[in-house]
Amino acid sequence: MRVSTRAPSGDCKDVTSASCPVTRHNGHVTDRRPPWALAGVLAGLAGLATSYAAAMVLTIRESPVVAVAEMVIRLTPGEAAERAISVLGHFDKPALVIGILLILLALFALAGRLAEKGFWQPMVVWFALAGLGLGAVLAQRSAGLADSLPVLIGLVTWVTAHSALNDALRRERRRPDLESRERRVFVMVAGAISLAAVGIAAGGRVVGAGRRHVEASRRLLRIPGVTRRQAPVATSVDLAGIAPWQTPNEDFYLIDTTLAKPTIEPQDWALRIHGLVDRELVLTYSDLVERELTESWITLNCVSNEVGGGLVGNARWSGVRLADLLADLGVSDQADAVLQTSHDGWFCATPLAALTDDRDAMLAVAMNGRPLPIEHGFPVRTIVPGLYGYVSATKWVVDMEVTTFETAVGYWTTKGWSAEGPVKIASRIDVPRSGDDVEVGDVQIGGVAWHQHTGIEAVEVQVDGREWERAELGEVPSVDTWVQWKVTVDVPEGDHTVRVRAIGKDGATQTDVVRAPDPDGSTGLHAIEISAS
Ligand SMILES: Nc1nc2c(c(=O)[nH]1)N[C@H]1C(S)=C(S)[C@@H](COP(=O)(O)O)O[C@H]1N2
Ligand SMILES: [Mo]
Protein backbone atom coordinates (compact mmCIF):
# COMPACT_ATOMS: atom_id res chain seq x y z
CA MET A 1 0.00 0.00 0.00
CA ARG A 2 1.24 3.45 -0.86
CA VAL A 3 1.48 5.95 1.83
CA SER A 4 0.40 9.40 0.91
CA THR A 5 3.22 11.75 0.01
CA ARG A 6 1.17 14.66 1.22
CA ALA A 7 3.13 16.41 3.83
CA PRO A 8 1.42 17.62 6.99
CA SER A 9 1.99 21.07 5.61
CA GLY A 10 2.71 21.53 1.97
CA ASP A 11 3.64 19.13 -0.74
CA CYS A 12 6.99 18.58 -2.37
CA LYS A 13 8.43 16.53 -5.09
CA ASP A 14 12.04 16.37 -4.08
CA VAL A 15 12.01 15.17 -0.54
CA THR A 16 15.75 15.73 -0.18
CA SER A 17 15.54 19.43 -1.02
CA ALA A 18 16.41 21.81 1.74
CA SER A 19 12.97 23.33 1.79
CA CYS A 20 11.07 20.11 2.03
CA PRO A 21 9.88 19.36 5.54
CA VAL A 22 9.04 15.77 4.67
CA THR A 23 11.16 12.75 3.97
CA ARG A 24 9.81 9.62 2.44
CA HIS A 25 11.45 6.28 2.20
CA ASN A 26 10.42 2.73 2.80
CA GLY A 27 6.92 3.98 2.58
CA HIS A 28 7.19 6.11 5.78
CA VAL A 29 6.48 9.75 6.03
CA THR A 30 8.50 11.58 8.60
CA ASP A 31 8.06 15.21 9.47
CA ARG A 32 11.54 16.65 9.71
CA ARG A 33 10.50 19.91 11.31
CA PRO A 34 10.67 18.87 14.94
CA PRO A 35 14.39 17.95 14.83
CA TRP A 36 15.31 21.33 13.34
CA ALA A 37 13.26 23.22 15.88
CA LEU A 38 14.48 20.87 18.60
CA ALA A 39 18.09 21.51 17.58
CA GLY A 40 17.41 25.25 17.88
CA VAL A 41 15.83 24.87 21.31
CA LEU A 42 18.58 22.59 22.66
CA ALA A 43 21.33 24.87 21.38
CA GLY A 44 19.54 27.90 22.80
CA LEU A 45 19.14 26.24 26.20
CA ALA A 46 22.82 25.31 26.17
CA GLY A 47 23.61 28.98 25.52
CA LEU A 48 21.35 30.05 28.38
CA ALA A 49 23.04 27.51 30.67
CA THR A 50 26.57 28.75 30.00
CA SER A 51 25.55 32.40 30.21
CA TYR A 52 23.87 31.71 33.55
CA ALA A 53 26.91 29.81 34.82
CA ALA A 54 29.22 32.60 33.64
CA ALA A 55 27.07 35.21 35.37
CA MET A 56 27.19 33.18 38.59
CA VAL A 57 30.93 32.61 38.47
CA LEU A 58 32.12 35.98 37.18
CA THR A 59 29.93 38.48 38.93
CA ILE A 60 27.49 38.63 41.74
CA ARG A 61 24.95 40.24 39.49
CA GLU A 62 21.90 38.65 37.97
CA SER A 63 21.95 36.54 34.81
CA PRO A 64 21.26 38.16 31.43
CA VAL A 65 17.64 36.89 31.48
CA VAL A 66 17.01 38.68 34.77
CA ALA A 67 18.76 41.76 33.37
CA VAL A 68 16.31 41.73 30.45
CA ALA A 69 13.43 41.30 32.89
CA GLU A 70 14.65 44.27 34.88
CA MET A 71 14.99 46.32 31.72
CA VAL A 72 11.41 45.46 30.82
CA ILE A 73 10.31 46.60 34.27
CA ARG A 74 12.28 49.82 33.91
CA LEU A 75 10.87 50.54 30.47
CA THR A 76 7.29 49.73 31.44
CA PRO A 77 5.31 52.88 32.13
CA GLY A 78 4.63 53.17 35.86
CA GLU A 79 0.90 52.63 35.57
CA ALA A 80 1.13 49.47 33.47
CA ALA A 81 3.82 48.09 35.77
CA GLU A 82 1.69 48.79 38.81
CA ARG A 83 -1.31 47.09 37.27
CA ALA A 84 0.79 44.05 36.36
CA ILE A 85 2.17 43.87 39.89
CA SER A 86 -1.30 44.13 41.44
CA VAL A 87 -2.58 41.38 39.14
CA LEU A 88 0.38 39.09 39.61
CA GLY A 89 0.96 39.93 43.24
CA HIS A 90 4.45 39.23 44.43
CA PHE A 91 5.08 36.90 41.54
CA ASP A 92 5.56 39.74 39.11
CA LYS A 93 9.28 39.21 38.63
CA PRO A 94 9.24 35.38 38.42
CA ALA A 95 6.24 35.66 36.07
CA LEU A 96 8.16 38.09 33.91
CA VAL A 97 11.25 35.87 33.87
CA ILE A 98 9.14 32.83 32.95
CA GLY A 99 7.45 34.85 30.20
CA ILE A 100 10.83 35.88 28.83
CA LEU A 101 12.03 32.27 28.96
CA LEU A 102 8.96 31.13 26.97
CA ILE A 103 9.58 33.82 24.36
CA LEU A 104 13.21 32.71 24.24
CA LEU A 105 12.19 29.08 23.67
CA ALA A 106 9.99 30.15 20.76
CA LEU A 107 12.85 32.21 19.29
CA PHE A 108 15.30 29.32 19.75
CA ALA A 109 12.87 27.07 17.85
CA LEU A 110 12.52 29.75 15.17
CA ALA A 111 16.30 29.95 14.79
CA GLY A 112 16.31 26.15 14.48
CA ARG A 113 13.72 26.25 11.72
CA LEU A 114 15.58 29.03 9.94
CA ALA A 115 18.77 26.97 10.05
CA GLU A 116 17.08 24.46 7.82
CA LYS A 117 16.80 27.14 5.13
CA GLY A 118 20.44 28.10 5.18
CA PHE A 119 23.44 29.04 7.18
CA TRP A 120 22.88 32.74 7.69
CA GLN A 121 19.15 32.95 8.44
CA PRO A 122 19.40 31.94 12.11
CA MET A 123 22.14 34.55 12.54
CA VAL A 124 19.47 37.25 12.51
CA VAL A 125 17.89 35.66 15.59
CA TRP A 126 21.26 34.97 17.25
CA PHE A 127 22.51 38.49 16.96
CA ALA A 128 19.20 40.21 17.65
CA LEU A 129 18.88 38.27 20.91
CA ALA A 130 22.50 38.72 21.89
CA GLY A 131 22.15 42.43 21.12
CA LEU A 132 19.11 42.68 23.37
CA GLY A 133 20.88 40.79 26.15
CA LEU A 134 23.96 43.01 25.86
CA GLY A 135 21.82 46.13 25.90
CA ALA A 136 20.00 44.98 29.04
CA VAL A 137 23.17 43.97 30.85
CA LEU A 138 25.04 47.17 30.02
CA ALA A 139 22.05 49.31 30.98
CA GLN A 140 22.37 48.08 34.58
CA ARG A 141 23.75 50.51 37.10
CA SER A 142 27.55 50.60 37.18
CA ALA A 143 27.80 47.91 34.52
CA GLY A 144 31.30 47.15 33.28
CA LEU A 145 32.61 45.35 30.23
CA ALA A 146 32.93 42.13 32.23
CA ASP A 147 29.15 42.16 32.57
CA SER A 148 28.83 41.50 28.85
CA LEU A 149 30.84 38.25 29.09
CA PRO A 150 27.92 35.99 30.11
CA VAL A 151 25.95 37.11 27.04
CA LEU A 152 28.94 36.60 24.74
CA ILE A 153 29.72 33.18 26.24
CA GLY A 154 26.07 32.22 25.85
CA LEU A 155 26.05 33.37 22.23
CA VAL A 156 29.20 31.40 21.38
CA THR A 157 27.76 28.28 23.05
CA TRP A 158 24.45 28.66 21.25
CA VAL A 159 26.05 29.12 17.83
CA THR A 160 28.55 26.27 18.34
CA ALA A 161 25.95 23.84 19.67
CA HIS A 162 23.52 24.81 16.93
CA SER A 163 26.14 24.23 14.22
CA ALA A 164 27.01 20.80 15.65
CA LEU A 165 23.36 19.75 15.74
CA ASN A 166 22.68 21.14 12.27
CA ASP A 167 25.66 19.25 10.87
CA ALA A 168 24.18 16.05 12.24
CA LEU A 169 20.81 16.90 10.69
CA ARG A 170 22.30 17.84 7.31
CA ARG A 171 24.23 14.62 7.11
CA GLU A 172 21.00 12.82 7.77
CA ARG A 173 19.27 14.69 4.97
CA ARG A 174 21.98 13.94 2.46
CA ARG A 175 21.65 10.20 3.11
CA PRO A 176 17.96 9.48 3.67
CA ASP A 177 18.73 5.76 3.48
CA LEU A 178 20.90 6.03 6.57
CA GLU A 179 18.27 7.78 8.54
CA SER A 180 18.10 5.65 11.61
CA ARG A 181 21.87 5.60 12.08
CA GLU A 182 22.29 9.30 11.46
CA ARG A 183 19.39 10.05 13.72
CA ARG A 184 21.46 8.36 16.35
CA VAL A 185 24.28 10.82 15.67
CA PHE A 186 21.83 13.68 16.17
CA VAL A 187 20.49 12.13 19.35
CA MET A 188 24.01 11.58 20.65
CA VAL A 189 25.14 15.14 19.88
CA ALA A 190 21.93 16.50 21.39
CA GLY A 191 22.37 14.34 24.47
CA ALA A 192 25.97 15.40 24.96
CA ILE A 193 25.08 19.08 24.62
CA SER A 194 22.18 18.78 27.06
CA LEU A 195 24.30 16.96 29.62
CA ALA A 196 27.14 19.49 29.33
CA ALA A 197 24.66 22.36 29.67
CA VAL A 198 23.04 20.91 32.78
CA GLY A 199 26.48 20.25 34.27
CA ILE A 200 27.74 23.75 33.56
CA ALA A 201 24.60 25.40 34.91
CA ALA A 202 24.75 23.28 38.07
CA GLY A 203 28.46 24.06 38.51
CA GLY A 204 27.74 27.74 38.11
CA ARG A 205 25.01 27.47 40.72
CA VAL A 206 27.34 25.85 43.24
CA VAL A 207 29.98 28.54 42.78
CA GLY A 208 27.24 31.17 42.76
CA ALA A 209 25.84 29.83 46.03
CA GLY A 210 29.17 30.58 47.73
CA ARG A 211 29.00 34.10 46.41
CA ARG A 212 25.42 34.57 47.47
CA HIS A 213 26.34 33.34 50.94
CA VAL A 214 29.04 36.01 51.29
CA GLU A 215 26.59 38.58 49.95
CA ALA A 216 24.09 37.46 52.59
CA SER A 217 26.67 37.73 55.40
CA ARG A 218 27.56 41.15 54.09
CA ARG A 219 23.99 42.32 54.10
CA LEU A 220 23.38 41.06 57.62
CA LEU A 221 26.62 42.50 58.98
CA ARG A 222 26.15 45.27 61.52
CA ILE A 223 29.17 47.16 62.75
CA PRO A 224 28.23 49.23 65.81
CA GLY A 225 28.52 52.94 65.15
CA VAL A 226 29.46 52.36 61.53
CA THR A 227 26.61 50.86 59.59
CA ARG A 228 24.18 53.73 59.71
CA ARG A 229 22.92 56.41 57.44
CA GLN A 230 24.30 59.88 57.69
CA ALA A 231 23.55 62.92 55.61
CA PRO A 232 26.48 64.32 53.66
CA VAL A 233 28.26 66.92 55.75
CA ALA A 234 28.92 69.18 52.77
CA THR A 235 26.67 71.92 51.44
CA SER A 236 25.69 70.98 47.94
CA VAL A 237 25.91 73.40 45.07
CA ASP A 238 22.42 73.78 43.73
CA LEU A 239 22.67 73.01 40.01
CA ALA A 240 21.05 70.01 38.37
CA GLY A 241 23.47 67.77 36.53
CA ILE A 242 26.54 68.14 38.76
CA ALA A 243 27.79 64.83 40.14
CA PRO A 244 26.28 64.43 43.63
CA TRP A 245 28.84 65.27 46.31
CA GLN A 246 28.37 61.86 47.91
CA THR A 247 28.71 59.12 45.30
CA PRO A 248 26.22 56.30 45.95
CA ASN A 249 27.92 52.90 46.24
CA GLU A 250 26.13 51.60 43.13
CA ASP A 251 27.48 54.48 41.05
CA PHE A 252 31.06 54.39 42.34
CA TYR A 253 33.55 53.60 39.57
CA LEU A 254 35.17 50.16 39.64
CA ILE A 255 38.73 49.29 38.70
CA ASP A 256 40.49 46.01 39.33
CA THR A 257 42.36 43.30 37.48
CA THR A 258 40.15 40.42 38.57
CA LEU A 259 37.18 38.99 36.70
CA ALA A 260 35.78 36.85 39.50
CA LYS A 261 35.68 39.14 42.52
CA PRO A 262 37.05 37.50 45.67
CA THR A 263 34.26 36.48 48.02
CA ILE A 264 35.58 36.32 51.57
CA GLU A 265 33.50 35.67 54.67
CA PRO A 266 34.52 38.15 57.39
CA GLN A 267 35.37 35.27 59.77
CA ASP A 268 37.75 33.86 57.13
CA TRP A 269 39.54 37.17 56.62
CA ALA A 270 42.87 37.98 58.26
CA LEU A 271 45.54 40.57 57.57
CA ARG A 272 49.16 39.83 58.28
CA ILE A 273 51.36 42.85 58.94
CA HIS A 274 55.06 42.03 58.93
CA GLY A 275 58.48 43.07 57.59
CA LEU A 276 60.37 45.97 59.13
CA VAL A 277 58.29 46.06 62.32
CA ASP A 278 59.21 45.29 65.93
CA ARG A 279 56.23 43.00 66.30
CA GLU A 280 54.38 41.06 63.61
CA LEU A 281 50.60 40.93 63.73
CA VAL A 282 47.85 38.76 62.30
CA LEU A 283 44.65 40.72 62.56
CA THR A 284 41.24 39.06 62.27
CA TYR A 285 38.04 40.83 61.29
CA SER A 286 36.77 40.91 64.88
CA ASP A 287 40.18 42.17 66.12
CA LEU A 288 39.85 44.94 63.57
CA VAL A 289 36.33 46.12 64.34
CA GLU A 290 37.00 45.95 68.08
CA ARG A 291 39.63 48.65 67.65
CA GLU A 292 38.73 52.31 67.62
CA LEU A 293 36.89 53.08 64.39
CA THR A 294 37.16 56.37 62.52
CA GLU A 295 35.16 57.70 59.65
CA SER A 296 36.18 60.14 57.02
CA TRP A 297 34.87 61.57 53.74
CA ILE A 298 37.49 60.75 51.14
CA THR A 299 37.52 61.16 47.37
CA LEU A 300 39.16 58.25 45.55
CA ASN A 301 40.31 58.48 41.97
CA CYS A 302 42.12 56.42 39.39
CA VAL A 303 45.40 57.43 37.80
CA SER A 304 43.95 56.31 34.44
CA ASN A 305 41.25 58.95 34.56
CA GLU A 306 41.35 61.13 31.46
CA VAL A 307 40.79 64.87 31.80
CA GLY A 308 37.03 65.26 32.29
CA GLY A 309 36.59 61.52 33.01
CA GLY A 310 34.48 59.70 35.56
CA LEU A 311 36.97 57.45 37.39
CA VAL A 312 36.52 59.39 40.61
CA GLY A 313 34.03 59.23 43.47
CA ASN A 314 33.50 60.49 46.99
CA ALA A 315 32.29 58.38 49.90
CA ARG A 316 32.17 58.21 53.69
CA TRP A 317 34.65 55.51 54.65
CA SER A 318 34.76 53.87 58.09
CA GLY A 319 37.66 51.88 59.40
CA VAL A 320 40.76 51.69 61.52
CA ARG A 321 43.50 54.30 61.11
CA LEU A 322 46.68 52.70 59.84
CA ALA A 323 48.87 55.25 61.59
CA ASP A 324 47.67 54.01 65.01
CA LEU A 325 47.98 50.37 64.03
CA LEU A 326 51.50 50.75 62.63
CA ALA A 327 52.59 52.82 65.66
CA ASP A 328 51.50 49.93 67.91
CA LEU A 329 53.71 47.55 65.92
CA GLY A 330 56.77 49.79 65.89
CA VAL A 331 58.02 50.58 62.41
CA SER A 332 61.75 50.56 61.63
CA ASP A 333 63.44 53.82 60.53
CA GLN A 334 64.75 52.10 57.40
CA ALA A 335 61.27 51.49 56.01
CA ASP A 336 59.72 53.86 53.49
CA ALA A 337 57.09 51.65 51.84
CA VAL A 338 54.37 49.14 52.58
CA LEU A 339 53.87 46.35 50.08
CA GLN A 340 50.17 45.51 50.15
CA THR A 341 48.79 42.28 48.66
CA SER A 342 45.17 41.40 48.02
CA HIS A 343 43.38 38.06 48.25
CA ASP A 344 43.33 37.88 44.43
CA GLY A 345 47.09 38.40 44.22
CA TRP A 346 47.13 42.06 43.16
CA PHE A 347 49.76 44.16 44.92
CA CYS A 348 50.98 47.72 45.30
CA ALA A 349 53.69 49.58 47.16
CA THR A 350 52.46 52.55 49.20
CA PRO A 351 54.64 55.36 50.56
CA LEU A 352 54.90 54.64 54.30
CA ALA A 353 54.70 58.35 55.14
CA ALA A 354 51.15 58.56 53.77
CA LEU A 355 50.14 55.74 56.13
CA THR A 356 51.71 57.19 59.25
CA ASP A 357 51.17 60.96 59.00
CA ASP A 358 48.09 62.80 60.25
CA ARG A 359 45.81 61.92 57.32
CA ASP A 360 43.06 59.34 57.69
CA ALA A 361 44.72 56.45 55.84
CA MET A 362 42.67 53.47 56.96
CA LEU A 363 41.71 49.85 56.72
CA ALA A 364 38.15 50.51 55.64
CA VAL A 365 35.28 48.17 56.48
CA ALA A 366 32.38 50.34 55.33
CA MET A 367 31.49 52.68 52.51
CA ASN A 368 28.70 55.21 52.97
CA GLY A 369 27.51 53.45 56.11
CA ARG A 370 27.24 50.01 54.51
CA PRO A 371 29.72 47.14 54.73
CA LEU A 372 31.99 47.47 51.68
CA PRO A 373 30.29 46.12 48.57
CA ILE A 374 32.00 42.88 47.46
CA GLU A 375 33.33 44.53 44.29
CA HIS A 376 34.76 47.41 46.34
CA GLY A 377 36.83 45.08 48.53
CA PHE A 378 34.64 43.34 51.11
CA PRO A 379 35.42 42.74 53.90
CA VAL A 380 38.44 45.08 54.19
CA ARG A 381 40.29 47.44 51.87
CA THR A 382 42.82 50.23 52.22
CA ILE A 383 41.95 53.87 51.59
CA VAL A 384 44.60 56.59 51.59
CA PRO A 385 43.59 60.23 51.00
CA GLY A 386 45.83 61.97 48.48
CA LEU A 387 47.14 58.93 46.61
CA TYR A 388 45.77 57.38 43.41
CA GLY A 389 44.10 54.00 43.90
CA TYR A 390 46.80 52.04 42.05
CA VAL A 391 49.42 52.72 44.76
CA SER A 392 47.17 52.58 47.79
CA ALA A 393 43.54 51.50 47.71
CA THR A 394 44.03 47.70 47.91
CA LYS A 395 40.69 45.89 47.86
CA TRP A 396 40.40 42.52 49.65
CA VAL A 397 43.71 43.35 51.38
CA VAL A 398 45.28 40.39 53.22
CA ASP A 399 48.98 41.19 53.58
CA MET A 400 51.08 44.24 54.41
CA GLU A 401 54.84 44.06 54.41
CA VAL A 402 56.64 47.09 55.81
CA THR A 403 59.62 47.45 53.49
CA THR A 404 61.48 49.86 51.20
CA PHE A 405 60.83 51.18 47.70
CA GLU A 406 64.26 49.79 46.81
CA THR A 407 62.89 46.24 47.00
CA ALA A 408 59.13 46.64 46.67
CA VAL A 409 57.32 47.28 43.39
CA GLY A 410 53.61 47.36 42.69
CA TYR A 411 51.63 45.61 39.95
CA TRP A 412 51.24 48.81 37.91
CA THR A 413 54.76 49.99 38.69
CA THR A 414 56.11 46.89 36.95
CA LYS A 415 54.14 48.04 33.91
CA GLY A 416 55.81 51.43 33.79
CA TRP A 417 53.56 53.57 36.00
CA SER A 418 55.38 55.69 38.53
CA ALA A 419 56.19 54.32 41.98
CA GLU A 420 54.63 56.98 44.17
CA GLY A 421 51.23 58.18 43.07
CA PRO A 422 50.23 61.48 44.65
CA VAL A 423 46.98 62.72 43.08
CA LYS A 424 47.13 65.75 40.82
CA ILE A 425 44.82 68.71 41.03
CA ALA A 426 41.91 68.37 38.62
CA SER A 427 38.58 69.92 37.72
CA ARG A 428 35.67 68.83 35.57
CA ILE A 429 32.66 70.51 33.95
CA ASP A 430 29.46 68.46 34.43
CA VAL A 431 26.90 71.01 33.15
CA PRO A 432 26.30 71.81 30.40
CA ARG A 433 27.47 68.73 28.50
CA SER A 434 29.82 69.27 25.59
CA GLY A 435 27.76 69.73 22.43
CA ASP A 436 24.74 71.18 24.27
CA ASP A 437 22.72 74.06 22.85
CA VAL A 438 22.13 76.83 25.34
CA GLU A 439 20.21 80.09 25.36
CA VAL A 440 22.07 83.30 24.71
CA GLY A 441 22.77 85.25 27.91
CA ASP A 442 23.31 83.91 31.42
CA VAL A 443 24.42 80.29 31.40
CA GLN A 444 25.12 78.27 34.54
CA ILE A 445 28.28 76.18 34.40
CA GLY A 446 29.05 73.67 37.13
CA GLY A 447 31.06 70.63 38.08
CA VAL A 448 33.57 69.23 40.58
CA ALA A 449 37.24 69.82 41.42
CA TRP A 450 39.62 67.85 43.60
CA HIS A 451 43.09 67.80 45.04
CA GLN A 452 42.89 65.38 47.93
CA HIS A 453 44.97 66.18 50.98
CA THR A 454 45.82 69.61 49.60
CA GLY A 455 42.34 71.01 49.08
CA ILE A 456 40.71 73.29 46.54
CA GLU A 457 41.02 77.04 47.14
CA ALA A 458 39.22 78.26 44.02
CA VAL A 459 37.78 77.21 40.68
CA GLU A 460 37.80 79.42 37.61
CA VAL A 461 35.96 79.21 34.30
CA GLN A 462 36.87 80.77 30.99
CA VAL A 463 34.62 81.31 27.96
CA ASP A 464 36.71 81.35 24.76
CA GLY A 465 39.73 83.59 25.39
CA ARG A 466 38.02 85.88 27.92
CA GLU A 467 38.96 86.61 31.53
CA TRP A 468 38.87 83.73 33.99
CA GLU A 469 35.78 84.00 36.22
CA ARG A 470 35.65 82.70 39.80
CA ALA A 471 33.11 80.03 40.65
CA GLU A 472 31.14 79.62 43.85
CA LEU A 473 32.24 76.55 45.85
CA GLY A 474 30.28 74.13 47.99
CA GLU A 475 31.49 73.76 51.58
CA VAL A 476 33.37 70.55 52.36
CA PRO A 477 34.41 68.92 55.65
CA SER A 478 38.09 68.48 54.83
CA VAL A 479 40.77 68.84 52.18
CA ASP A 480 40.38 65.15 51.30
CA THR A 481 37.18 65.45 49.28
CA TRP A 482 36.19 66.93 45.99
CA VAL A 483 34.35 70.24 45.85
CA GLN A 484 31.30 71.09 43.77
CA TRP A 485 31.36 74.45 42.00
CA LYS A 486 29.14 76.61 39.80
CA VAL A 487 29.30 79.96 38.08
CA THR A 488 27.03 82.00 35.83
CA VAL A 489 28.69 83.31 32.67
CA ASP A 490 27.40 85.52 29.89
CA VAL A 491 27.34 83.71 26.55
CA PRO A 492 26.75 85.60 23.27
CA GLU A 493 25.26 83.95 20.18
CA GLY A 494 27.46 81.42 18.45
CA ASP A 495 29.78 78.51 19.25
CA HIS A 496 31.97 78.71 22.33
CA THR A 497 34.59 76.80 24.26
CA VAL A 498 34.32 76.76 28.04
CA ARG A 499 37.33 75.70 30.12
CA VAL A 500 37.80 75.13 33.82
CA ARG A 501 40.82 75.23 36.11
CA ALA A 502 41.30 74.75 39.82
CA ILE A 503 43.62 76.48 42.26
CA GLY A 504 44.85 74.44 45.22
CA LYS A 505 45.06 75.51 48.85
CA ASP A 506 48.84 75.40 48.28
CA GLY A 507 48.38 78.29 45.81
CA ALA A 508 49.26 76.25 42.72
CA THR A 509 47.08 76.62 39.62
CA GLN A 510 46.11 73.56 37.59
CA THR A 511 48.30 73.36 34.50
CA ASP A 512 46.97 73.56 30.94
CA VAL A 513 49.81 71.33 29.69
CA VAL A 514 48.17 68.25 28.21
CA ARG A 515 49.59 64.91 29.36
CA ALA A 516 48.23 61.37 29.06
CA PRO A 517 47.47 59.38 32.25
CA ASP A 518 50.56 57.18 31.82
CA PRO A 519 52.83 57.26 33.90
CA ASP A 520 51.54 59.38 36.80
CA GLY A 521 48.15 60.91 35.98
CA SER A 522 46.71 63.07 33.20
CA THR A 523 47.02 66.84 33.14
CA GLY A 524 45.38 69.56 31.08
CA LEU A 525 42.17 71.53 31.37
CA HIS A 526 38.71 70.12 30.78
CA ALA A 527 36.95 72.01 28.01
CA ILE A 528 33.46 71.75 26.52
CA GLU A 529 31.94 73.13 23.32
CA ILE A 530 28.54 74.78 23.53
CA SER A 531 26.40 76.61 21.03
CA ALA A 532 24.22 79.58 22.06
CA SER A 533 21.18 80.76 20.14
N1 LIG B 1 42.77 43.89 44.76
C2 LIG B 1 42.82 44.98 43.98
N3 LIG B 1 42.72 46.20 44.54
C4 LIG B 1 42.76 47.31 43.77
C5 LIG B 1 42.93 47.23 42.37
C6 LIG B 1 43.03 45.94 41.79
O7 LIG B 1 43.19 45.76 40.57
N8 LIG B 1 42.97 44.83 42.63
N9 LIG B 1 42.94 48.37 41.61
C10 LIG B 1 43.27 49.62 42.27
C11 LIG B 1 42.95 50.78 41.46
S12 LIG B 1 43.92 51.03 40.08
C13 LIG B 1 41.99 51.68 41.80
S14 LIG B 1 41.81 53.13 40.97
C15 LIG B 1 41.08 51.42 42.95
C16 LIG B 1 39.64 51.48 42.53
O17 LIG B 1 38.80 51.19 43.60
P18 LIG B 1 37.25 50.97 43.35
O19 LIG B 1 37.12 49.88 42.32
O20 LIG B 1 36.65 50.61 44.66
O21 LIG B 1 36.71 52.27 42.82
O22 LIG B 1 41.30 50.14 43.52
C23 LIG B 1 42.66 49.77 43.64
N24 LIG B 1 42.69 48.53 44.38
MO1 LIG C 1 43.40 53.05 39.21
Domains within the chain, CATH numbers bracketed: 36-211 (no CATH), 249-415 (3.90.420.10), 426-532 (2.60.40.650)
* 490: pLDDT strictly greater than 80: yes
Question: Ligand 2 mean position to 258 CA, how many Å?
Answer: 13
User: What is the pTM for the complete model shown?
Assistant: 0.75
DSSP string of 227-251?
SS----SSPPP--TTSPPSSPPGGG
What per-residue confidence (pLDDT) applies to 33?
Answer: 56
Cβ burial of 327 (10 Å; 0-12, 13-18, 19+) is exposed
Residue of the CA atom closest to atom 4 of ligand 1: 394
Q: Which amino acids bring their CB within 6 angstroms of ligand 1? A: 252-257, 300, 302, 342, 344, 346, 376, 389-390, 393-396
Residues 394, 404: Cα–Cα separation, whole Å:
18
Q: What pairs with residue 377 in β-bridges? A: none
Tell whether the torsion through CA atoms of 237, 242, 247 and 250 is positive or negative: positive
What is the identity of the amino acid at 285? Answer: Y
What per-residue confidence (pLDDT) applies to 84?
Answer: 62
Residues 406, 422: Cα–Cα separation, whole Å:
18
Ligand 1 atom index nearest CA of 390: 12
Instruction: Report the candidate in 171, 116, 126, 187 with the shortest Cα–Cα distance to residue 151.
Output: 126
What per-residue confidence (pLDDT) applies to 9?
Answer: 39
**pLDDT tens digits, 131-181:** 988 888 888 765 677 788 888 999 999 999 988 888 888 877 776 665 565
Span of 66-75, 252-261, 432-441 with lowest mean pLDDT: 66-75
For all residues of the chain together, what is the average pLDDT? 87
What per-residue confidence (pLDDT) applies to 463?
Answer: 98
Best residue among 298, 375, 394, 395 to mutate for probing ligand 1's pocket (most ligand atoms within 8 Å of CB) is 395
**pLDDT tens digits, 443-478:** 999 999 999 999 999 999 999 999 999 999 999 999
Percent of residues, the chain, with pLDDT higher than 90: 59
Instruction: Report the candidate in 476, 490, 487, 483 with the shortest Cα–Cα distance to residue 510.
Output: 483
What per-residue confidence (pLDDT) applies to 456?
Answer: 98
- How many other CB atoms are there within 10 angstroms of residue 180's CB atom? 8
Greater model confidence, 507 or 18:
507
CB 252 within 8 A of CB 243: no
Ligand nearest to the CA of 346: 1
* 62: pLDDT strictly greater than 70: no
Question: Ligand 2 mean position to 175 CA, how many Å?
Answer: 60
The confidence band for 212, taking pLDDT boundaries of 50, 70 and 90, is confident
Question: Ligand 2 mean position to 389 CA, how many Å?
Answer: 5
Residue of the CA atom closest to atom 16 of ligand 1: 255
What per-residue confidence (pLDDT) applies to 22?
Answer: 44
* 8: pLDDT strictly greater than 50: no
What per-residue confidence (pLDDT) applies to 185?
Answer: 78
Q: Which residues surround ligand 2, an ion (CB under 5 A)?
A: 255, 302, 389-390
Residues 186, 116: Cα–Cα separation, whole Å:
14
CB 525 within 8 A of CB 512: yes
CB 194 within 8 A of CB 104: no
What per-residue confidence (pLDDT) applies to 34?
Answer: 65
What per-residue confidence (pLDDT) applies to 229?
Answer: 81
Ligand nearest to the CA of 410: 1
What is the side-by-side strand order in the sheet with 469-470? Answer: 437-438, 527-532, 494-504, 456-463, 469-470
Ligand 1 atom index nearest CA of 252: 21
Greater model confidence, 28 or 490:
490
What per-residue confidence (pLDDT) applies to 177?
Answer: 61
Cis? peptide before 262, omega within 30° of 0: no
What per-residue confidence (pLDDT) applies to 436?
Answer: 97
Greater model confidence, 27 or 351:
351
Span of 116-125, 141-150, 200-209, 389-398 with lowest mean pLDDT: 141-150
Span of 27-36, 50-59, 238-247 with lowest mean pLDDT: 27-36
Residue of the CA atom closest to atom 2 of ligand 1: 395
Residue of the CA atom closest to atom 10 of ligand 1: 390
- How many other CB atoms are there within 10 angstroms of residue 12's CB atom? 15
Tell whether the torsion through CA atoms of 159, 165, 169 and 174 is positive or negative: positive
DSSP-derived letter for residue 140 is: S
Question: Ligand 2 mean position to 393 CA, how many Å?
Answer: 9
* 303: pLDDT strictly greater than 90: yes
Residue of the CA atom closest to atom 12 of ligand 1: 390
Ligand nearest to the CA of 350: 1
* 354: pLDDT strictly greater than 90: yes
Span of 83-97, 215-229, 409-423 with lowest mean pLDDT: 83-97
Residue of the CA atom closest to atom 18 of ligand 1: 254
